[in-house]
Structure 1
């Protein structure tokens, strides 16, 4: 019997797949606006190891990993470089796959792209509106967080104390908070802004919110419930909390039976010797492809896998 630590239950539990002998597994993929850094790589290497282990144990594993190829960050990058969002996304999707191959990470069995699954997302949003869990406001569609009694169970947050995942802005720079019924509600569909990619929908032209894409694609390719949902610990809230809420409200089903999250990567400050969170805002991140120019992929994988996948990992040149 395999035991794994389930984030929602906060303990190790026996692993019993939905279908004996098979494992359905969804791990959140990249938002393709830049090359990935080694913090991202740690998550992907960790779940590559978990997938390989399950296959070694004799399970037939179906592994799905999405690509977020429409997002605010991609749109900003495109504007800075005078390119289309599609051009930016296509380039960095290709480079992500190259980086994963260089690090010895297997391709997923299915790699859906957000822009190719818009219809699936719209259908899921329509279900949520019909069931009273979402509402339309000036061309946007929001999920009604308080309509789901189980909100906060995954992250361990009290819904009355939780903060909204992020503050969104309109094209004129004004906040969207006034469009929401509650500050915790999050966007399922965003009304089109001038010059941004947009698709037709029952609520007007726009594009999907980030959280809805993983719910739509995991249901489409794995069915509900599926066995394992994975990602970095930074995705527990709000991303995975929101995924779970909208999927279970739309489908009257458990979303994922087990939640697994990898620990964050910290970097050693070369001057002080102290460790700090790897962050683009601190300008202390290292891109995976640059690291692999200096060290062998096998050495990097060994470093990543020497620590338990849920534990924080300190990265420094002296360790590789």
Structure 2
């Protein structure tokens, strides 16, 4: 059974959907004002792999992820570029989905834009004001966090030491941690009408309305990056609790992407855009980097690690290419007792332990090649079939390897095959060693042999 770390409780819990086989999950999506960076890539890949694994286990995943298309950062960026904020948001939203396609990310079943939910946001804010847990100030409507009994539970820290993330922090609020539900319009800003005054929604209100509007008041999982745990997710939870919703059963947060030990982010100016990363490397290499680190751990991304991941991908591709003929051969039976897939699933069931699951894949590749070399095609086919299934779960579909082999190496490989056919195994082994010394490997296949770089 799959167990996941619940950030709210601080421990691993069994995943038990509220309405099986449906699994309802909401993941905080992008604020579209710039190119996505590789930290965003980690986020979408983390939840893409969770979704793929849930579907592998037979769940029907109802996956919703929003697009924040009205926000302070969008307005400021548009002002600097003399653009309309919505036009700017649409431009970067289109870029976002293009990069997600390059990463082979499954698109959410629902991808709501905040601006399409203004009416529902206004209704929710009015309900909170009417119940006495929110109040109208001179610059907007604020949530009174003192009215939420367990406010701070998700943050798991002493909130007396936490400064409010709101820029207009003190004079408009009853206490510093109160947060904006609705911001009154300033000159030349996007604005919508409301009973409290013209303005626009606060960020924390948007996700509550969209998640519950699509998935219902109670759903299975809410996810995002560790930086969203507080204040964003805590503030979402506060509103939902004040409304009497069960809201998310599991809160799941992934670690940061780091550059030399420092969190990578747009605000720090140390990010590499996802576009740059995917232009330089096979997009699957970044996915492999992500799965080699546990989702709750920091992820270091360097050129050296990206090149190492590219090399590792090559081994997976070569294995898939070598095993292709026996996978298609109906005369080679599968061994139903193969245990690799159960070890892979055990790792994934343990809080998505993708590093352990990935190690199992590479061990299976090694064992599959060894089985093929000794003529045990049944074991080789079994391992190849299960590796293909595991790679699909991780979103690592194999690619085709095209290599240019020098004529002298190709000639040695041909002489080796002739020696083997003549049963001159000593000569065949000597030729194999020559090939290996030159930096190449020769592998036998059902059709004969193939040569690749070692």
Q: Normalised by the size of structure 2, how large is the TM-score?
A: 0.66
Higher relative contact order (CA 8 A, sep 6+): 1
- Residue aligning to 2:220: 227
- Residue aligning to 2:103: 103
Compute the RMSD of aligned alpha carbons. 1.1
More helix by share: 2
Contact 2:255 2:295 in 1 (8 A): yes
Aligned equivalents of 1:277, 1:3: Cα separation in 2: 27
- Residue aligning to 1:293: 279
- Residue aligning to 1:192: 185
- Residue aligning to 1:218: 211
Aligned equivalents of 1:156, 1:9: Cα separation in 2: 9
Structure 1: tracts of 5 or more residues without a match: 169-175, 269-274
Helix, strand or coil at the partner of 1:34: coil
Aligned equivalents of 1:290, 1:162: Cα separation in 2: 36
- Residue aligning to 1:20: 20
Aligned equivalents of 2:262, 2:164: Cα separation in 1: 25
C-alpha deviation, 1:267, in angstroms: 1.4
Q: Establish whether residue 257 from structure 1 lines up as the match of residue 243 from structure 2.
A: no
Contact 1:25 1:63 in 2 (8 A): yes
- Residue aligning to 1:71: 71
Q: Normalised by the size of structure 1, how large is the TM-score?
A: 0.93
C-alpha deviation, 1:193, in angstroms: 0.4
Aligned equivalents of 1:232, 1:112: Cα separation in 2: 19
C-alpha deviation, 1:21, in angstroms: 1.2
C-alpha deviation, 1:14, in angstroms: 1.1
Aligned equivalents of 1:31, 1:46: Cα separation in 2: 18
Q: Detail structure 1 runs of 4+ shifted over 6 Å in the superposition.
A: none
**Which range moves more in the overlay, 131-140 or 89-98?**
131-140
Contact 1:26 1:63 in 2 (8 A): yes
Instruction: Indicate the structure (1 or 2) with the bigger Cα radius of gyration.
Output: 2
- Residue aligning to 2:410: none
Aligned equivalents of 1:202, 1:183: Cα separation in 2: 25
- Residue aligning to 1:141: 141
Deviation string, structure 1 residues 221-251 (Cα, Å, up to 9, x no partner): 001210000000010000000000011101x
Residue number among 292, 297, 301 corresponding to 1:311 in the alignment = 297
